[in-house]
Structure 1
Amino acid sequence: MARRSPLARFYLRIERAIVPVLLLVGWELFSRSGILPRALLPAPSQVLVAWADWVFATDGNTQSYSGHWAMDTAASATRVFSGFALATVLGVGIGMAIGWSRTVEKLIEPVLQVLRPVPPVSWIPLAIIWFGIADKPAIFLVFLGSFFPVLLSTIHGVKTVDRNLLRAGAMAGGTPRKLLRHIVFPAALPSIFSGLRIAIGS
């Protein structure tokens, strides 16, 4: 398939933008015509002004929550990333241990399999009792939603490492710790990243 020239791609973008632009212009004109009250159908320009006021508190008669958008977003992002980071560290660490050691698998996996089917929403009352009303319950719930996808993907990645690689590493004098660090972990990374993608979506 022949590649389009930059000019052709530019015209293609313009063609794709024509209909959305016409819709916005028509919406603006219809709203300003007064056929419908603006409270029912505000113009796009009014929506933009209201959004700017919500984010930046540009209006002197603004609502009490206006202007806090960036701070609120940062606070929510901090909770999400904290829970996700905790789930990543523990999920990968415990998953590596379970996948590598049968003893650890026998001790830990039964408990995890009992907890895994419980939806994170069901933990909300306990999270509030344990951590109170603050950031910690939210971080805990994000952690629960992300932990098991990372854990299961890590276990799968460790258990499916090519045994020939492990034998070759052992023949070269590799200790279990070196095999885990230099062979098992790199080989399990694709599965671990798949679990991280699933965890982000959950």
Structure 2
Amino acid sequence: MGAPARSPAPDLAPGLAPRSDRAPKQDRSRATRQRLLEAAVSCLAELGWAGSTVTVVAVRAGVSRGAAQHHFPTREDLFTAAVEHVAEQRSAALRALPRQPRPAAVAAIVDLYTGPLFRAALHLWVAATDEPQLHARVTELEARVGRESHRITVELLAADESVPGVRETVQGFLDMARGLGLATLLTDDTPRRTPVVTHWARILDRALG
């Protein structure tokens, strides 16, 4: 007599691979998706909306165009997901700033607004003005990021918003930081920006007490 037939493993369903096989595939799929999102963000920061095609993003991510379209069937799908990725990374970067003396905190916040994540966000804003599918998502996420940025900045600057004028002072600083970020799109504005940030740190120190 031959050996008795083995029963199928209890965790298998017809047509499905074993869990040990599925897990690596899922991990690879998540890794590919992450590479595509990061490539989309870097393309936006460097090439702008017009230069950031699915093919360009796929090449930068090191995957085929077919693999890119498997995860994001259309360009709008890819960059709508990139919008959320940029928003999450900007919030995470701001949350990760350590507590430090106010002048250092001011400089660190401005660095975030003049770095590649904010440049990518600026290109998304421009693209959203002409792309209805992006407009609603960009508007929604920027409102959320704006609220969180203000809240975290208040904490980092040890500002007391119960004092009249403090909220407006903090918001004015963030608006200034965005303006400095916009200036970096055209040229390296570091030589001019450094003394401006130092001066603003002194202004904030006096205004916030």
User: TM-score, normalising length from structure 1?
Assistant: 0.28
* Structure whose CA Rg is larger: 1
